[in-house]
Amino acid sequence: MKHISSLLLCGTLLTGTVAMAQKPVHLFNGKDLNDWDVKITNHALNDNFGNTFRVENGVMKVSYDGYTKFDEQYGHIFHKRKFSAYLLVMEYRFTGEQVAGGPGWAWRNSGAMIHSQPANTMGKDQDFPISIEVQLLGGDGKERSTANVCTPGTNIVLKGARERSHCVNSTSKTYNGDQWVRCEVLVLGDSLIQHIVEGDTVLQYTHPQIGDGNVSNFDPAQKQDGKALTEGYIALQSESHPVEYRKVDVYDLSSYMGNEKKLGRKLKKLRKMKK
């Protein structure tokens, strides 16, 4: 995929919460999970162990009342449609208490995986999909940003240099308690990814590719180090703390890719549009 020029990156970035003229793709329809696949570590594809992922009262819930102990059963629910250039809009909140046995770092910790490998290519014992993670964190009484980036089996370019730290913090403020938070992710193939929280652009990076570690028990055929991540699947995590989603929408921008001027005009319009 042709990379967006530096002029476009500097001049037409999405710097606020936006709405699109066209209708969104409702990844979560508020009713069921029929368009999703579930993969939980140590379980077969679509074995939704403990009814981890469910819909109640129009909200997608990630719950652990069916667990006695977490036992590193990291899970992901994958939408069945693949995307390349898009705006992902999520409204999420953390609730309740972490399940027994959940790691300390996973307290009020979840995430959305983008450019992910397909669910059906994950090994039965694989912990995380090879992907880019938009890490979602709730406040713990101290400064704790959300919409960070983590890189299971991948790496990115940050501020012009290849970044190999597993996680990099955003500049977002801390969101405490059970409040709903709106997070948007602008994805333009492997040219640009931006994280936007409550209207503020809090992180941006480019050139995601497969490479490095922080993922285990994967099929080696899926980990082609150095391969650019230009497309993939969207997945939501279960990492031991309950979380809810009342909105998971995608605005498809694929028709604007390949035409830099057209895409630039579209992004300028989006910046001006109100929520």
How is residue 13 written in tokens? 């970035």
| Complete domains list, the chain, with CATH | 6-272 (2.60.120.560)
Give the position of tokens 């650019």.
228
What are the residues whose beta carbons fall under 8 Å from the beta carbon of 55, sequence distance 6 or more? 30, 31, 32, 33, 61
**pLDDT tens track of the chain, all 275 residues?**
445 544 344 444 554 444 444 689 999 999 999 999 999 999 999 999 999 999 999 999 999 999 999 999 999 999 999 999 999 999 999 999 999 999 999 999 999 999 999 999 999 999 999 999 999 999 988 899 999 999 999 999 999 999 999 999 999 999 999 999 999 999 999 999 999 999 999 999 999 999 999 999 999 999 999 999 999 999 999 999 999 999 999 999 998 887 777 777 766 666 555 34
- The strand pairing partners of 163, in sequence order, are 156
